[in-house]
């Protein structure tokens, strides 16, 4: 089994959730790329990985949940997805430091108005053409104490009945991943 893990903003493929998935989903390969901040580059990279690697499940955290949703035709788990990243990014214009190491050694990235505009354009079409087959491929997990973003109601509007609340905050820890996410992931990989 292959899992594509897509990290959130200011992070990398080395983020701890990727290593948690490697430990918990035994026998699975976890592909965890460093995703560029530029929207067109990010989508190009992720679509290419899906074509080359054909993952059985895509797991996206926060901004990674936004990207996972864009990968139509794939079984996916969106964890605390930020469905409107342009709003948050506009409050963080300028240079930001990465919070986990990147393979290319980059320590920072720059959020520009142009990048925010590109995200906003992608947001405007994110729910277009959602058919029941696609909504049934997508599950959202939402922390009940998310201090950063809460798109539960919007997700459930577009993906009826596919959102799940769990006790926790925006960035899940290992015990939460094991207790709340692992059963869902195992069901997504081998649905009944």
The model's pLDDT over 88-129, given as tens digits with 9 standing for 90+, comes to: 999 999 999 999 999 999 999 999 999 999 999 999 999 998
Task: State the pLDDT at residue 103.
Answer: 95
> Residue 149: pLDDT band by 50, 70, 90 thresholds?
very high
Has this prediction a pTM greater than 0.85?
Answer: yes
What are the extents of the domains in the chain?
2-189
Task: State the pLDDT at residue 52.
Answer: 98
Render pLDDT for 23-46 as a digit per residue (tens, 0 to 9): 999 989 999 999 999 999 999 999
Residue 189 has pLDDT above 80, yes or no: no
Task: State the pLDDT at residue 188.
Answer: 79
Render pLDDT for 41-99 as a digit per residue (tens, 0 to 9): 999 999 999 999 999 999 999 999 999 999 999 999 999 999 999 999 999 999 999 99
| CATH fold of 2-189 | Rossmann fold (3.40.50)
In the sheet that 76-79 helps form, which strands lie side by side, from edge to edge?
29-31, 2-6, 57-61, 76-79, 138-143, 163-166
């Amino acid at each position: 089994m292959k899992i594509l893990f897509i990290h959130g903003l200011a992070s990398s493929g080395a983020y701890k959730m990727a290593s948690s998935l490697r430990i918990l989903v035994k026998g699975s390969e976890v592909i965890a790329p460093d995703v560029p901040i530029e929207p067109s580059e990010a989508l190009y990279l992720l679509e290419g990985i899906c074509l080359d690697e054909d993952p059985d499940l895509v797991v996206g955290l926060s901004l990674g949940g936004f990207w996972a949703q864009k990968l139509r035709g794939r079984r996916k788990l969106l964890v605390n997805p930020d469905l409107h990243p342009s709003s948050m990014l506009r409050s963080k214009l300028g240079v930001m430091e990465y919070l986990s190491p990147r393979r290319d050694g980059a320590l920072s990235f720059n959020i520009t108005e142009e990048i925010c505009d590109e995200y906003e354009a992608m947001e405007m079409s994110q729910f277009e053409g959602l058919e029941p087959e696609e909504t049934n491929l997508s599950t959202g997990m939402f922390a009940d104490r998310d201090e950063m973003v809460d798109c539960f109601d919007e997700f459930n509007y577009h993906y009826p009945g596919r959102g799940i609340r769990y006790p926790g905050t925006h960035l899940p820890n290992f015990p939460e991943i094991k207790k709340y996410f692992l059963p869902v992931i195992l069901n997504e990989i081998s649905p009944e």
